[in-house]
């Protein structure tokens, strides 16, 4: 049997999920905490890579490394060896064929924009400060055109090569959450490199009138990254929901 960990983390001080040679990552922190707690080497497969500075309110990682610690006590034992920015909430037994990344059916990311004339220090590294007033109704209308199975090359930055830039977006929604916060929620069967951040930047350009609210279909048909908006900074991006079609693992952050 394997073990799946449900966790959350603030990524401001870390270089994403995946291990790197010269930078601290969430994967390295967890693997080192597991090895010190349970003994023996451990490899943890994460549900998504997440870039430097990106956060996760709901994240799943899996490992086949053995442990003699009861699963109801394992989170507390691991948390004792983790920094405050990383917290394991639950540990769940899963079958040998399970993998946190490849078994995931769909993921949701939420991007937070602080749309205010003045900065708020409590949103530093937590949201994108954007002082120019945004037309949320126009953004909401444009967001609907990202939904469906389409070629999303126009909102993909250069990164690891992929066989196809076609993905299925199940919903793309723009919400006002009070305190000058605008949230962009995107759920898909998979994401291209910086895809949500590029979608957010494109919707922001819609919100300030640089892109017409009915201009998204033409941008996507063009496949031209330069036709879309900028890539939003990493600080406002959160992984917020995962679906495995397994009750013990499916979840959404509040």
How many Å apart are CA 241 and CA 99, to the nearest integer? 17
How many Å apart are CA 184 and CA 173, to the nearest integer? 6
CA geometry: angle at 204 spanning 222 and 206, to 5°? 60
Alpha helices (runs of H) in 185-225, residue ranges in sequence order: 195-207, 216-222
Which residues are designated catalytic? 51
- CATH architecture, domain defined by 106-240: 2-Layer Sandwich (3.30)
Q: Is the pLDDT of residue 27 over 90?
A: yes
Alpha helices (runs of H) in 16-79, residue ranges in sequence order: 26-38, 74-79
How many Å apart are CA 173 and CA 246, to the nearest integer? 25
* Per-residue pLDDT reduced to its tens digit, 102-142: 999 999 999 999 999 999 999 999 999 999 999 999 999 99
Q: Say what the pLDDT of residue 250 is.
A: 87
Q: Residue ranges of the domains in the chain?
A: 2-103, 106-240
Answer yes or no: are the C-beta atoms of 233 and 11 closer than 8 Å. Answer: no
Q: Say what the pLDDT of residue 31 is.
A: 97
Same fold, 2-103 and 106-240: yes
Q: Which fold has domain 2-103?
A: Alpha-Beta Plaits (3.30.70)
pLDDT band at 2 (very low <50, low <70, confident <90, very high): very high
* Per-residue pLDDT reduced to its tens digit, 154-213: 999 887 678 899 999 999 999 999 889 999 999 999 999 999 999 999 999 999 999 999
* Per-residue pLDDT reduced to its tens digit, 218-241: 999 999 999 999 999 999 999 999
pTM: 0.94
């Amino acid at each position: 049997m394997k073990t799946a960990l449900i966790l959350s983390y603030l990524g401001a001080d870390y270089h994403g999920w995946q291990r790197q040679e010269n930078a601290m990552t969430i994967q390295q922190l967890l693997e080192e905490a597991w090895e010190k707690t349970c003994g023996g080497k451990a490899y943890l497969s994460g549900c998504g890579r997440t870039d430097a500075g990106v956060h996760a309110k709901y994240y799943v990682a899996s490992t086949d490394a053995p442990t003699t610690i009861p699963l109801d006590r394992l989170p507390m034992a691991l948390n004792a060896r983790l920094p405050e920015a990383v917290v394991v909430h639950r540990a769940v037994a899963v079958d040998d064929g399970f993998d946190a990344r490849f078994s995931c059916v769909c993921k949701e990311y939420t991007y937070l924009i602080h749309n205010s004339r003045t900065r708020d220090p409590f949103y530093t590294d937590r949201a994108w400060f954007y002082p120019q007033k945004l037309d949320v109704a126009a953004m909401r209308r444009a967001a609907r055109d990202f939904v469906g199975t389409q070629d999303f090359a126009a909102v993909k930055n250069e990164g690891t090569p992929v066989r196809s830039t076609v993905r299925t977006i199940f919903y793309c929604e723009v919400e006002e959450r009070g305190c000058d916060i605008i949230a962009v929620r995107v759920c898909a069967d998979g994401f291209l490199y910086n895809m949500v951040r590029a979608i957010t930047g494109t919707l922001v350009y819609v919100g300030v009138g640089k892109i017409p609210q009915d201009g998204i279909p033409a941008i996507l048909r063009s496949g031209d990254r330069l036709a879309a908006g900028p890539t939003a900074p990493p600080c406002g991006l959160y992984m917020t929901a995962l679906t495995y079609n397994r009750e013990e693992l499916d979840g959404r952050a509040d």
